[in-house]
Amino acid sequence: MRRTKKYLISTFFVFGLLQFTNLHAQTNGDRVIAGDLADPSIIKVDSVYYATGTSSEWAPYYPVYKSADLKHWGQVGYVFDKAPEWTVGSFWAPEYYKIGDTYYVYYTARRKSDNRSYIGVATSRYPDHGFTDHGVIIAHGKEAIDPFIYNDGGQLYITFKAYGLDDRPIELLGSRLSADGLKLEGELFSLLQDSARIGMEGQSILKKDQYYYLFYSVGNCCGGGCSYAVHVARSEHITGPYQLFSGNPILFENDNWKCMGHGTFTSDEKGDLYYLHHAYNKKSSVFTGREGMLAALKWDGAGGWPTLTTVPNPAPVRSDVYDEFNGAQLAPYWQWDFRHATPAVQLTKGVLKLSGEQTADNLTGVVLTVRPTSDHFDVTTTVVNRNKALKGLVVYGDAGAAIGVGVEGDSVKVWKVTHQQRVTVKAAPVSSSAVGLKIEMAGDKGFDFFYQTGKGGWTRLSSIPDAGFLPQWDRSPRPGLHCKGSVKENAQFSFFRLQNK
């Protein structure tokens, strides 16, 4: 799922890169799940599809999406509303599976006791909620991530990535899995080894005729310098040895998208296979994160090797948000950084009240955020109370990387947090009891900030021309609501709107 260091290029990867202009043509396609949803896993339940993906440092944990046709998706819940007791963060790469009437999610998280990323498992009677955690199932080496489950004639296997943080070659390892899916059986075996340490992860397996096909992602997964692409290898035995395809990679950069990888397969109503994976939009890049895309699987009649072709999506994907806070609880699209603050939220007669406890190193404050699906958007709200807390809009990358506009006492302020410093960019006096606030992003890493009082129009207060410091290496920044003050002082908002342009 991740790599943060530079890698040497192995011979077989260089060969694959040189194939870019010679492989089958790819259409540019478009996303099917908009916004940051890395490492997606998909499961088909009768005629309905469910997908989940990495939530990283956002709570709640592992958002769940639902679709009837693989192209129109809507969020329906989360795997976990509360973090499993053994975890402390880094919620990556969940994997769906079903045994009998029970749904399983195998997932990666960082263990509280030693800060190492290992694999846990949770079960539910439902695919979109109610999961009970069963704790760690794989604690191997300094890091074990990216689980995948395969049923080989009734024998379950689990595979995963190992040694990404050790001083040894990265490997994709496997083990037999118990019939109840809750424990490993027998000895570990190696499917594939990455001796050059260029990155190898996000594997899934299909069988066709006499071969097991191992699909996996190669390169750097994340950020502006990503290099992800999908490779394939095959073997006559699930335990290997696996032969690399000379035509690798089979899914790679096109005119509009880059760094495709880490996905799983499902079938449509006709039985055709599709690969749900993530990719970066070349235009918005890290500001919208790794978005969900589909690729169609086909087989080469001559050599028997597979191809993956990005599927066009004629259905427009819009993820605008307009929340008037009329419900009894928060809508499912709201998330927050669980590491630095615990939001306290109250919904009363169309007003959201936000406060909460913050860690001592949190320079930003308490936030509630939503996933952007564009790098060209407006966010607006109205603050309807006055106190000493700073209350307003935020674009949040991390507790130490954020920007915003808010009301504090009798002032409206544009502020930013970067390089371990909090700075007021510009302030102006306000006397109205209700103050409208707006942030505009124009797609060039720049933001403009506005306020409004009474029946007057918008007044531009200031701008931050380059907020390239906001995106974090594994996740996109998010706009939302913000409060920084004592626990006793809350922020009150009458609505929130995110409009993608």
Go through the domains of the chain in sequence order and give each one's CATH number.
Answer: 11-22+39-261 (2.115.10.20), 321-500 (2.60.120.200)
**pTM score, two decimals?**
0.92
Among 36, 171, 201, 323, the one annotated catalytic: 201
Which pair of tokens denotes residue 459? Answer: 């007044």
Q: Does residue 39 carry a pLDDT above 50?
A: yes
201 belongs to the catalytic site: yes
Catalytic residue among 30, 36, 39, 253: 39
Instruction: Calculate the average pLDDT of the chain.
Output: 92
Write the pLDDT tens digit of every residue in 315-342: 667 689 999 999 999 999 999 999 999 9
Burial 231-259 (b: 16+ CB within 10 A, else e): bbbbbeebebebebbebbbbbbbbebbbb
Q: Which residue type does 28 have?
A: N
Contacts of residue 392, Cβ cutoff 8 Å, sequence gap at least 6: 381, 383, 404, 405, 406, 407, 412, 437, 481, 482, 491
What span, in angstroms and rounded, lies between the C-alpha atoms of 86 and 260?
31
CB-based contact 189:200 (threshold 8 Å): no
Stronger pLDDT, 290 or 314, i.e. the higher one: 290
pLDDT digits (tens, 9 = 90+) for 407-422: 999 999 999 999 999 9
pLDDT average, residue stretch 271-288: 96
Residues 6+ positions from 298 with CB-CB distance below 8 Å: 306, 307, 308, 309
d(CA 437, CA 167) in angstroms, rounded, equals 51
d(CA 378, CA 479): 9
What's the DSSP call for residue 126?
A: S
The whole-number pLDDT of residue 456 equals: 87
Sheet arrangement for strand 229-235: 200-208, 211-218, 229-235, 243-244
Predicted local confidence at residue 27, as pLDDT: 52
What is the helix (H) or strand (E) element at residue 347, kind and residue range? strand 341-348
Q: Which range has the worst mean pLDDT, 22-36, 83-97, 327-341, 444-458?
A: 22-36
- What's the token pair of residue 390? 């700073």
pLDDT of residue 15: 31
State in Å, rounded, how far the first CA of the chain is from the last one. Answer: 31
What are the tokens at 119? 């694999």
Residue 378: active-site member:
no
SS3 string of 71-123? CCEEEEEEEECCCCCCEEEEEEEEEEEEECCEEEEEEEEEECCCCCEEEEEEE
